[in-house]
Structure 1
């Protein structure tokens, strides 16, 4: 069994859906699982719906209609007759969104976020399921929420592996092609949860692990894993081979082509991961597997923007030791801060964080009760694996360096 994952860029419009079908025909589709993300910028559009639900009610219905029109236009392009059943299916999904908005009583932003944003994947897979059947590619539509079970940590749920494995093994027919959603799951109360942004890659790894898949292929709009994001770096190079360990390092530091959690379940069962271009499916792309040397051996660059750098010092010049560090990390955890870099000295502690849940002010208020605190917003965190001095010089050129940390293989630089 093979697992194929197609991201939002691969199905951004009707032509993208057509190309997905062509890729399946070219590489073979008789059995396996196709995992699909929300189309194009649908997740962002649904995030605006959530925002309007809480803070701008006058724009709520128009923001829902905008998402509906986007998908309906794709339907008109793909299907010749408006009476095709897919039109009604899409309308019903939007009715579900509107019904949830009417009856919901929860003030929990993260809960509401997951219930609404998850429809991006339900919409895309419904369209693709119908289009593939329309093209003679028989497939089953699977609601992944019934199979991947998690806790109730909305927007970044943790997988219940025992329950998930049992549900997947008993429900997936591995003799046919199955189409399902990435990114979404459900908790023990059957409320929808999500696995974190870009979590569709993780979905592919979960299914591969539970089904003992032969391989996972992630189809992207790039030729494979590059040594840097071409949006921010020039003269990028394709990495033809990467070991699991190196790929996990790259993912941890922010390589945008791989979800940080994706590689761990694959590594446990030594399932190879291929990253290929949906525009050129015949090209070899990148292979990630056990014990593979980095090929070619070049510096790899990662960038995380819109970070917050917090410098913490004791009020009485006492040492920042175990009990203080414990208190700091407890507060970071309480306020759901993602820690991307830490550095400490005798009387100070610096941490670079991603303020995903917009809890910075609450965190700072509690830190100031015990420590002297200085912070910088909207900083950039650069990470270079297998760095050279020239690579460091290029990053630091014309920038204010706020913090820098070097180990044998990795350098991290915070700039303003």
Structure 2
């Protein structure tokens, strides 16, 4: 069994869907499960719909109309009028309308998962329909019936035993299957999600359960690069990486690989390929057991729009274990992801990602117990296998607020010029 994963950029328009179909024809379609994300920027569009549902109800109909129009236009470019896919998509939008009208829950994370899932459901129905149009036999699967999780909406934890049972007992490995990334289901048949960018993780889950031959993530870049080309003018393709190195890079925030993806593959020594859907026969990157970084060069990872916190006790007493433990619990409670830690005798510094928008509430709760200084909109640079030249080059981009070094890695928090 092979697992292919296509992100939103690969199916952002009709030409993208056609390219995916051609790629599958060229690569072969037997013994293959394809994981697909929402099309183009549709996850962002659905997030705007959710925001309107809660906070800007006057914009709700317009936001939904934009989503409908996008998919309608794309289908018009792929199918003749009257094709069954139009009815299938109409039914999905009817289901969305039903939820928007009937839902009574005010739990944001729950509502988020019930609405955001339509992006992947729509994209996979359209791709599956187009493959059928080309006489490529395929089976559309609702991933929520196979990957089972707890009810921690927006960041659900996988029930591996039940998931393994459902996948291995109910999916015919000899056929081509099309399914959704990012989504899962809980024991009450509600939709859950695996965390933003979780489609890579979906591919890893299926690979683990199938003991797959390989996983290939198809991107709009040649493979894993040593730096983000949107930030750095010169980048180099990494042709091979070890699991351990990939985990390190993912931990520090490398955007090409989801942090949760590597572990299930490493447990069963399943190789992961990152390749270009624009040039599918190009070399790409192989991630596998025991391979050295090739070429052996510095790798740059950047996390933008971070918040740097410096926390100390109001009475200037030592920051001891009970203080730090309490602070970490609160960081966890408010879903503030910690990307750097540094402590001294009387202060404790962390660089956090405020992707859930909870920082202000965190600050209000702790400000009476601790002295808290913070700086928003800072950037965290991580250099793996750094040298003095690369360290100096990053430091020249702005004012260094904090840096931390170990044998292989340096992290620098900058207020950029």
**What is residue 241 of structure 1 aligned with on the other side?**
240
By how many angstroms is 1:369 displaced?
2.3
How far, CA to CA, are the matches of 1:187 and 1:398 in structure 2? 46
Determine helix, strand or coil for the equivalent of 1:383.
strand
**What is residue 223 of structure 2 aligned with on the other side?**
224
**What is residue 125 of structure 1 aligned with on the other side?**
124
By how many angstroms is 1:29 displaced?
1.0
**What is residue 266 of structure 2 aligned with on the other side?**
267
Unaligned ranges ≥5, structure 2: none
The alignment covers a number of residue pairs equal to 415
1:292-348 CA distances to partner (integer Å, 9 max, x unpaired)?
A: 000000100001111111100111221111111101101111111111111001110
How far, CA to CA, are the matches of 1:228 and 1:348 in structure 2? 33
Distance 1:337 1:398, change over 3 A: closer
Normalised by the length of structure 1, the TM-score is 0.99
**What is residue 411 of structure 1 aligned with on the other side?**
410
**What is residue 50 of structure 1 aligned with on the other side?**
50
How far, CA to CA, are the matches of 1:118 and 1:230 in structure 2? 30
**What is residue 204 of structure 2 aligned with on the other side?**
205
Does residue 1:283 correspond to 2:282, yes or no? yes
Determine helix, strand or coil for the equivalent of 1:149.
coil
1:182-225 CA distances to partner (integer Å, 9 max, x unpaired)?
A: 00001111110111111000000000000110000000000000
Deviates more, 1:171-180 or 1:362-371: 362-371
1:143-171 CA distances to partner (integer Å, 9 max, x unpaired)?
A: 00011111111111111111111111112
Once the two structures are superposed, the pairs formed by residues 19-34 of structure 1 within 5 Å of their partners are: 19-34=19-34
How far, CA to CA, are the matches of 2:171 and 2:102 in structure 1? 33
Once the two structures are superposed, the pairs formed by residues 337-348 of structure 1 within 5 Å of their partners are: 337-348=336-347
**What is residue 17 of structure 1 aligned with on the other side?**
17
1:59-94 CA distances to partner (integer Å, 9 max, x unpaired)?
A: 101111100110111111001x21100001111111
By how many angstroms is 1:373 displaced?
0.5
Once the two structures are superposed, the pairs formed by residues 67-146 of structure 1 within 5 Å of their partners are: 67-79=67-79, 81-146=80-145
* Runs of 4+ more than 2 Å apart: none
**What is residue 399 of structure 1 aligned with on the other side?**
398
**What is residue 61 of structure 1 aligned with on the other side?**
61
Determine helix, strand or coil for the equivalent of 2:30.
coil
How far, CA to CA, are the matches of 1:305 and 1:189 in structure 2? 37
The alignment yields a C-alpha RMSD, in angstroms, of: 0.8
By how many angstroms is 1:398 displaced?
4.1
How far, CA to CA, are the matches of 1:276 and 1:357 in structure 2? 31
Unaligned ranges ≥5, structure 1: none
Once the two structures are superposed, the pairs formed by residues 146-185 of structure 1 within 5 Å of their partners are: 146-185=145-184
By how many angstroms is 1:403 displaced?
0.8
How far, CA to CA, are the matches of 2:326 and 2:150 in structure 1? 25
By how many angstroms is 1:412 displaced?
0.6
How far, CA to CA, are the matches of 2:95 and 2:376 in structure 1? 39
Once the two structures are superposed, the pairs formed by residues 260-409 of structure 1 within 5 Å of their partners are: 260-409=259-408
How far, CA to CA, are the matches of 2:170 and 2:71 in structure 1? 29
1:337-366 CA distances to partner (integer Å, 9 max, x unpaired)?
A: 111111001110001111122111111122
How far, CA to CA, are the matches of 2:31 and 2:357 in structure 1? 43
How far, CA to CA, are the matches of 1:398 and 1:111 in structure 2? 41
Determine helix, strand or coil for the equivalent of 2:398.
coil
